[in-house]
Structure 1
């Protein structure tokens, strides 16, 4: 059995929008590449295996139906030097070290870099967005055409979309609406899981042409 781990991150600090003034009631990072100051609020995951400990021995067990689990930074640690063991993301990193394939969506350009800025060295094995771009004849890591986002792909292929806006998730988090952010993150993971399995089985449709990718 190939051990799969799907993940998606939500951040703590808002990213400034050049079209809108910054609200003094909220905390911001500097820009979209300011990974050192974004902070991680939640890591949402799905996996098809688990790690259990019996009599001081660790065992990996299969989970045929899979398991969704959020890893939550309730202490609002922002920088990696703020983290103390056991950090809220320690178990996630253990699972990452055991998995055969780490799966994300635009994670090579965003989530992986965010994790590394917080001292969690992870490398995505399968970035669904990069794979979709390649399958549609685009460069894997360059934005040449809009529409290939989680929302449009989900609506086209699953008939349902996201439950919120990732750009507004930090605002909800700072307002203390943590469960809303957790639910939003896990819903994105659910969409990503469904899209991933459709893609590897040749059943994912291009939101532009409606052709199978």
Structure 2
């Protein structure tokens, strides 16, 4: 049984130059092991760490250069040592440029995100935590759909500037064996 985790974060403020100062409003995750979606607020992060430490691989979109570094502000170890698949990394490697998740999802699986991250920042300022959770979990669902398509077919898609649908070759198959538990804290 797979223990992979698809995840996304929402932050309390817009992205700045220094991720060390950024705070998380919620983390959304899908756990293949239990077939469940779940959101975590800061006070619930210890529960999240336990789940992530048992995972085979963390899966996200722009996760290696955004989500994981910001999550590391909270995690007592180093999440960068966990097996990860950052789908945007593979897209950039294949095409030489980056694409928004929304554009890839629309062209690949015919779904779009429900909004954008700056809306989540506004909701944070207004205390609308439930709206942030719903938005974040929708992002996780979109990310999961794109991942599963790429895993099954070895390709994703995007629409070029002329309106043509173009293929993006990807390889989402896990190569290295996963350890049963990710332990990255120094003992």
TM category (shorter chain) comes to 0.7 to 0.9
Is 1:38 the equivalent of 2:7?
Answer: no
Contact 1:154-1:160 at 8 Å conserved across structures: yes
Aligned counterpart in structure 2 of residue 156 of structure 1, from 90, 104, 107: 107
CA contact (8 A) 1:14 1:171 kept: no
Which whole-Å deviations, capped at 9, do the CAs of 1:123-175 have from their partners, x for residues lacking one? Answer: 25100111122233x2xxxxxx35x1111011111222111110231111110
What is the match of residue 88 of structure 1? 44
| Alignment match, 1:179 | 130
Question: In structure 1, what is the Cα distance between the partners aligned to 2:101 and 2:157?
Answer: 13
Bigger Rg, structure 1 or 2: 1
Aligned residues: CA RMSD? 1.8
| Runs of 4+ with >6 A deviation | none
Counterpart of 1:4? 4
Q: How does 1:71-110 map to 2 (within 5 A)?
A: 71-73=40-42, 87-110=43-66
TM-score with structure 1 setting the length:
0.70
Measured after TM superposition, the shift of residue 203 of structure 1 is 4.5
Could you tell me how far apart the structure 2 residues matched to 1:33 and 1:14 are? Answer: 10
TM-score (norm 2): 0.79
Show the counterpart of 2:175. Answer: none
Name stretches of at least 5 consecutive residues in structure 2 with no aligned partner: 170-187
Number of aligned positions between the proteins? 161
**In 1, are the aligned partners of 2:91 and 2:168 still within 8 Å (CA)?**
no
Contact 2:103 2:158 in 1 (8 A): no
Whether contact under 8 Å (1:3, 1:48) holds in the other structure is: yes
Q: Equivalent residue of 1:134, what SS?
A: helix
Task: Please give the alpha-carbon distance, in whole angstroms, between the structure 2 residues aligned to 1:9 and 1:33.
Answer: 17
